[in-house]
Amino acid sequence: MTQLEQRTAAETRVHQPGETTVRVGPVSGRVRWRQVTVVVGAAVAVVLLGAASLGRGDFPIGLTDVLRTLVGLGEDTQEFIVLELRAPRIVVGALVGLALGVAGALFQTFARNPLASPDVLGITQGASAGAVAAIVLGGTAGGSGLLGGLGVPLAALLGALVTGLLLLVLAWRSGIDGYRMVLVGIALWAVAAAVTDWLLTRAEIYDAATAYVWITGSLNARTWGEAVPLLVALAVLLPAALATSRALGVVQFGDDTARGLGVRLVPTQAVVVLVAVALTAAAVAAAGPIAYVALVVPQVAIRLTGGARPPLLASGLVGAALVVGADLLTRTVLPQALPVGVLTAAVGAPYLLWLLVRGRRRSTL
Amino acid sequence: MSSSTDAAPRQRPGGLGNPGGDRSAGRGGLTAQRRTRLLGLLLLLVLVGVAATLSIAVGSRSIGLGSVWQALTDPGVPTEETVIVRELRVPRTALGLMVGMALGLAGALAQGHTRNPLGDPGLLGITSGASLGVVLAIYLLGVGTPAGYVWFAFAGALLGTVLVFALGSAGRGGASPVTLALAGAALSALFYALVRAILVSDTDSLDAFRFWVVGALAGRGADVAWQVAPFIVAGLLLALVNAPALDLLGLGEDVARGLGQRVWLARAVGLAAVTLLCGAATAACGPIAFVGLVVPHVVRAFTGPSHRWLVPCSGLLGAVLLLLADVVGRVVVRPGELQVGIVLALIGAPFFIALIRRRRLAST
């Protein structure tokens, strides 16, 4: 049912208005103007929100002072606040949103299921289990052990990667079937969630509180130490994700069709899942499993661009805008600084609901 | 739309109104499929008995089978052992039986209505709504016992599903499986955001909530069992009534409408059943995620996609799974206990993965 509809949708869209065919020498492609608008709009939103965020907080700094500081002319205090406290936090937020948005779009397209996000497939939950283990076992309980000595971000990275690789290995049977991957992911999610919840019941309440803030996803006290590795990871992973985009669009029509159209299915599947896992792991190691970005954002992006599947780049940029915007809200509007993960869900979810209520019924992704 | 492919080879032509194909057996004696289903059903009934017996007989304090039997049959002078059996184990077993059955039934219905293998009741806003209800009860009213949580959790679950169904069907074209699932996911996100906002700012609430959220049968007495029993019985009846309609809905809403099915009514009954069952179960024990999700997939392996078999069998298997997991949880870390929700995930998940890998699961 869905495949047929997607196919007809794709065919009719070929001659739709709002598209321009561009030829440069031997290369030709279509420009979908609506998609371009969304990408540019989201990018502009990220920059504007980030700029606004640099000046706001407990110690407000005017726009001109922010600009002076950025070019190296500001006072020492302002330079410290803007460049050392706020800038890394905003950069981490934007990059994490970008990574989670793209990862969510990859998983949802690949599994042909709008609920298939790293949250549901257990990868962020694996990161939570790792981090909570590090906090609880290495905390005031005393028994530090291997996990405790590892540090929370590394434990989270490890948890996410192990869960992601387990997902790949356990769902693999001469290739990955999206349906099987989703079911395996749910099982891994359940195990990781059980471990996390159990550790939380065993912990001292102070450790449990710390751990709970971490698993909500927070940008507090992020430094360039988190931003730079994340930037490096994205510099490698984002081009890889975008490179799979074309093959991914074909894979959506079903494995047989994809094979018939000349997609090398098995390598494509492996690359897509690995890239999505790595993007998620990099993001959660930096800021914790910021809730529901990867689930909600691709669904918002698909409704903004009006395509047949979540657009990768647009999802990433909408994700970045969401996280940066939510972080700005936590620091300005709210009386008390909540972790950003609370706000991403509180802002993103109603928006998706509004789009659902307003939008026409879709049976595709 | 591969809903009836599994049963199709065994079905005679012209069985459109009978997607499960169970009646086609009438002429040629028992078909293989029907025999498998009956055997499966019988096996499940036996397993329920075994699991209930184990749950009454096994615990952190070892009591001989003779004493257990005496406690159940002889109304004489209460000893310590008969009190344990009568006041603790029997109510706990009854609760486990009800909750497991409710979760299994709710899972089968939810997957059928959303036509999504991930159509766990938790995704329809029930678990998140119940969590929000409990957190608010702890934070605002200082409620602190499992029996005290019941009504708040139930009210939250009710609010969650009603909102999901209202929002999911508010768009043009009404409730489709995709909009329902997405509305559920989005609303859960919103509820959990509120839950987390409270829990990160109030440590006392977190301290109480962390023990509720693991999902346990321990510490719930007969009063909790009696509180939720009417809702689970009502839900059970609605679920059994709703099951045949799901087979028609599985053919697509237009076909179902053409065959005389009142689609809106079927959806409403189904949602009501899921809410009653899963809401009551969550209210009694806390969120137990894995049962509703896994059980229908396991059951589908021998019943095929026909919901009139799938739904009742899912209920039975759910009860078996929950009782056995609870028994295991009592034994593994004696004299302490591992909560049933955790045991279920740790044992159920590897089993589930093995099952997925071994065979090609029929999709919903």
Q: What's the pLDDT score for residue B173? A: 59
Task: Report the residue of B123, B131, B176, B182 to disrupt the A interface, i.e. the one with the largest count of A CBs within 10 Å.
Answer: B182
How far apart CA B17 and CA B22 sit, in angstroms, is 11
Q: Give domain status of residue A24, yes or no.
A: no
Among A139, A181, A162, A157, which Cα is nearest to A272's? Answer: A181
Of residues B174, B211, B363, nearest to A201 (C-beta)? B211
Contacts with A, B 234-293, CB within 8 Å: 252, 289-290, 293
Residue of B nearest to A338 (CA): B197
Question: Would you say residue B1 lies in a domain?
Answer: no
Q: Is residue B313 part of a domain?
A: yes
Which among B264, B254, B253, B245 is positioned nearest to B310, based on CA atoms? B245
Q: For residue B221, name the pLDDT band (cuts at 50, 70, 90).
A: confident
Asked if residue A217 belongs to a domain, the reply is: yes
Percent of chain A with pLDDT over 90: 17
Do A187 and B170 lie within an 8 Å CB cutoff?
Answer: no
Asked, for residue A135, whether it belongs to a domain, the answer is yes
Decide if B178 and A338 are in contact by the 8 Å CB cutoff.
no
Chain A CB contacts of B293 below 8 Å:
186, 190
B333 touches A at CB < 8 Å: no
How many CB pairs below 8 A link A and B?
176
- Asked if A209's CB is within 8 angstroms of B363's CB, the reply is no
Instruction: Answer yes or no: is B8 within a domain.
Output: no
| Average pLDDT, 10 consecutive residues per value, chain A (365 residues) | 48 58 74 84 89 79 78 78 84 93 91 82 90 77 50 87 91 79 85 89 84 85 85 92 83 78 82 91 89 85 82 91 90 78 84 73 44
User: Whole domain around residue B108: which residue ranges?
Assistant: 33-358
Q: What distance separates the 2 farthest-apart alpha carbons in chain A?
A: 66
* Greater model confidence, B139 or A308: B139
- CA dist A126 and A138 (Å) reads 18
Asked if the structure places residue A27 within a domain, the reply is no
Report the Cα A172 to chain-centroid distance in Å: 24
- Which residue would you say has higher pLDDT here, A307 or B311? B311
Residue A186 counted as domain residue: yes
* Position A108 in a domain: yes
In chain A, the number of structural domains is: 1
- What pLDDT is attached to residue A17? 63
pLDDT at B60: 67
B164 is a domain residue? yes
pLDDT for residue B3 is more than 70:
no
Nearest CA in chain B to A174: B357
B1 touches A at CB < 8 Å: yes
CB-CB: which of A113, A180, A191 is closest to B356?
A: A180
Using CA coordinates, name the residue in chain B closest to A299: B182
Does the residue B12 lie in any domain?
A: no
Going from the C-alpha of A285 to that of each of A151, A269, A343, B186, B337, the distances in angstroms are: 10, 24, 19, 24, 33
Residues of chain B neighbouring A191 (CB-CB closer than 8 A): 345-346, 349-350
CATH, residue B219? 1.10.3470.10
pLDDT in tens, A288-317: 888 788 888 898 888 888 877 888 889 999
Measured between CA atoms, how close is B132 to chain A, in angstroms? 14
Across residues B58-84, what is the average pLDDT? 73
Measure the CA angle with vertex B166, ends A304 and B260; round to 5°. 105
- Cα of B186 to nearest chain A Cα, Å: 5
Residue A57, H or E segment: none
Who among A120, A173, A361 is closest to B172 (CB)?
Answer: A361
- For residue A307, being part of any structural domain is answered with yes
In a domain, A10, yes or no: no
Ordered alpha helix ranges (H), A252-292: 255-260, 265-287
CB distance B24 to B11 below 8 Å: yes
pLDDT digits (tens, 9 = 90+) for B152-191: 988 998 898 888 888 877 766 566 667 777 788 888 888 9
Q: What is the pLDDT of residue A101?
A: 94
Query: What distance in Å separates residue A227's CA from the closest CA in chain B?
Result: 25
Q: Which of A108, A201, A333 to mutate to test the interface with B (most CBs of B within 10 A)?
A: A201
If you ran DSSP here, which 8-state letter would residue A21 be given?
Answer: E
B176 contacts chain A (CB < 8 A): yes
CATH of residue A351's domain is 1.10.3470.10
Per-residue confidence (pLDDT) for residue B122, from 0 to 100: 67
Cα of A186 vs its chain's centroid, Å: 18
- Which residues 207-226 on chain B approach chain A with CB closer than 8 angstroms? 207, 210-211, 213-214
Amino acid B115: pLDDT: 73
Q: Which residues of B318-342 are buried (b: 16+ CB within 10 A; e: fewer)?
A: bbbbbbbbbbbbbbeeeeebbbbbb
> ipTM value of the model?
0.75
pLDDT interval class at B2 (50, 70, 90): very low
**Does the pLDDT at position B215 exceed 60?**
yes
Structural domain range at position A55: 34-358
For the stretch B314-357, pLDDT in tens is 999 999 999 999 888 888 877 778 888 888 888 878 877 887 77
Tokens of residue B228, six digits: 């939720």
Measure the CA–CA gap between B195 and B209, rounded to whole angstroms. Answer: 10
Domain count, chain B: 1
Query: Does the structure show a pLDDT above 90 at B136?
Result: yes
Query: How many Å lie between the alpha carbon of A181 and the closest alpha carbon of chain B?
Result: 9
Write the secondary structure of A89-139 as one string of H (helix), E (strand) and C (coil).
Answer: HHHHHHHHHHHHHHHHHHHHHHHCCCCCCCCCCCHHHHHHHHHHHHHHHHC
A349 closest CB neighbour out of B170, B172, B186: B186
> Nearest-CA residue of chain A relative to B348?
A187
